[in-house]
Structures are given as C-alpha cells and as structure tokens.
Structure 1
Amino acid sequence: MEDIIPVNINNDMERRVADAFLIFDIHANKTIDVREVGTVLRFLGCVPTEQEINEVIEATEMEGDNSGSVHLNKFLPHVCQLLAERKMEPSAPEKLFEAFKVLDPERKGVISKDYMVKMMTEEGEPFTEEELEEMMTVAVDPQTGMIPYEYYLNQLLIYL
C-alpha cells in the first residue's frame, strides 16, 4: 500500500518540498490529487507553465489505478531536481520591467487595465480568471484605473 512506504528526507530542500506537499495531502496518506500539483509548485515559489505542470504530473502520477494521484515518494525527487536546476523560477524584476516597457511604447509608465487584460488572456500562456483578478487587485490604481507598472513591480518585490 502506497501510504506505508517511508519517505526519506535528507536535506532542507527535501524538507521544504515535503512540507509544501503535505499541506495539500487532505487524506494524510502522502498523496495529493494531480489538480494540486500546480498549487504545490507555486507554493514553493515556482512559476510553472501549464505544460510544465503537466510534465510534472506525467513524471510523478501514481501508476496502475488511474487514481489521478501523486505520491510524495515520486514527487519529492522529481521536484527537488527541478528546483536544484533552477527550473520554473520567476523572471527577474529587470526582465519584467523590460517586458512592461514593450507594452508601453510611448513610455508613459502606465498601461490600461483593458489592454493588459487583453495581453494576459490572448498572448502567450493565458492567465486564468482567478490569476487575472489577483493581479489586477494589486496592479491597478483604483483612482486612475491604469497600471503604473514600476509601482506594481515594486509591490511584487515586497512579497518575494
């Protein structure tokens, strides 16, 4: 039975990954639903694409019973390796600032909320409604309805 397999924790990184995983282990059997994989990765500070999440699921999903579960024994070494290789890390603030400047060719220092929503839903990997709502709550100046992106990026740095 999967839940009696011991999980060996050998270092701080493994402890951090295991602790994050176990927060989402609602049955206390060292498994999580595959739908929680992205949440665990984000909790660890990763910024995975949907493709990267699917790759982690494919590499770690329990075999045989099609349960849609991931066991900590498979998740732990795989994710620790990704973290050690510095995969799925957030972009540097300077890179984000340059990206915002591309969206602001007139260099006004602000981007309209509507334009940003359009970019975040139609270009690249689209944001979900929940992700957009979270971003806009912090990014949009309530008085102007615009996104002063340098201020927004500074707010993000506070949370890092």
Structure 2
Amino acid sequence: MAEEEEAEIVVDINNDLERRIADVFELFDHTGTKKVDIRDIATVLRGLGCCPTEAEIQEVMVAIEDPKNPDIVHMQTFLPYAAQLITEHKYEPATPDKLLDAFHVLDPEGHGYLAKDFFMTIMSQDGEPFNEDEIAEMMEIAVDPYTQKVPYEYYINQLMVD
C-alpha cells in the first residue's frame, strides 16, 4: 500500500520552467514514481543546460537527497531547487567569448589551432579532467580529420550549435 501511495504523488507544475525541469527529470524516472537515482542528477542538470563542476554536483546531491533513502531524489524536492538554480543563473555554460579567451591563453602564438595531443593532455589532466569516454566524444567534434589539429574557433561554433 505504501508503494501505491508513493506512486500517486502529485507534483504541481506552475510555469514553463518547471515544465521543462519536470520533462528532463521524467526521462530518468524509469518507474513513473517521480523519483530518480541520485547518480542521475548530474545528467539531469546538464540536460537542463547547467554546467556544474563535480564538486558542485556533490553539493546539489547533499542538498536534495532523501534522508530516509539517500540514493533517491524526489521530483517535489528537485523541482524547486533546480528552478532556483536556473533562475539565479548558477552553473551556466561559458560564453563563446570566454571559451575563445581560454583557447587564446593556450595558443599564445595565435595559430588558431591546438595540437591534438596537447589538447587531449590538457582536457584529461588539468582542472577537472574529462574521462576517456568524454575525451573520445569531444575529440570527434574538435579534431579536424585532415590536419589532426583542433581549430578552436570552429570547435567553439560546433559547441554552440549543439
């Protein structure tokens, strides 16, 4: 009986932002109970256009976890929290200008490209490193197949299109 009651939880959706959050959340709600595995929260946030660091994801998880069942997140808890994050413009992705500035720091001679190996090393070792799957996916888009270099203005444009 307790499971039936939990399955019937109603979550009020009051505006377009909350509808968008609920839609993304529901993609990971495999049981239809308005709950997701807490390990999916990073993907849900990124699906909403947020770009939190791993440390920020941990903070979010602590803030929204269910004390009775820390592996589960309820939509009624996540919805207002995510709406506030988005409204406050937290975890917004870098602008094209900021990305270009970062590439210029890595390319002080102004070639307009980075060597593939150099780019892979930076992305896999510095700051918040990407894992192998993330690197492979990124390199598919970033590397020019003919020159084997990363023409960063083109790459930034590809990121903005996606």
Q: Same fold (TM over 0.5)?
A: yes
* Aligned: 1:157 with 2:146: no
TM-score if structure 1 supplies the norm length? 0.94
* Aligned: 1:45 with 2:49: yes
Q: Distance in 2 between matches of 1:34 and 1:65?
A: 10
Other structure's SS at 1:133 match: helix
Give 1:111's aligned residue: 114
TM-score if structure 2 supplies the norm length? 0.93
Give 1:75's aligned residue: 78
Instruction: Map Cα deviations across residues 116-158 of structure 1 (whole Å, 9 max, x no partner).
Output: 1111121111112222111110000011111000111112222
Equivalenced residues, count: 158
- Are the aligned partners of 2:28 and 2:36 in contact in 1 as well (CA < 8 Å)? yes
Give 1:5's aligned residue: 9
The alpha-carbon deviation at position 64 of structure 1 amounts to 1.2
Q: Distance in 1 between matches of 2:88 and 2:138?
A: 28
Instruction: Map Cα deviations across residues 22-79 of structure 1 (whole Å, 9 max, x no partner).
Output: 011011111111111011111111111111111111111112134x011101000101
Q: Distance in 2 between matches of 1:101 and 1:20?
A: 35
Q: Distance in 2 between matches of 1:77 and 1:158?
A: 29
* Aligned: 1:20 with 2:36: no
Other structure's SS at 2:44 match: helix
Q: Distance in 2 between matches of 1:65 and 1:144?
A: 51
Q: Structure 1 unaligned runs (5+)?
A: none
Instruction: Map Cα deviations across residues 87-112 of structure 1 (whole Å, 9 max, x no partner).
Output: 11100100000100101111111101
1:58-137 counterparts in 2 under 5 A?
A: 58-66=62-70, 68-137=71-140
Q: Report runs of 4+ in structure 1 exceeding 2 Å deviation.
A: 1-5
Q: Structure 2 unaligned runs (5+)?
A: none
Q: Distance in 2 between matches of 1:129 and 1:79?
A: 29
Determine what percentage of the aligned residue pairs are the same residue. 51
Give 1:57's aligned residue: 61
CA-based RMSD: 1.1
* Aligned: 1:144 with 2:138: no
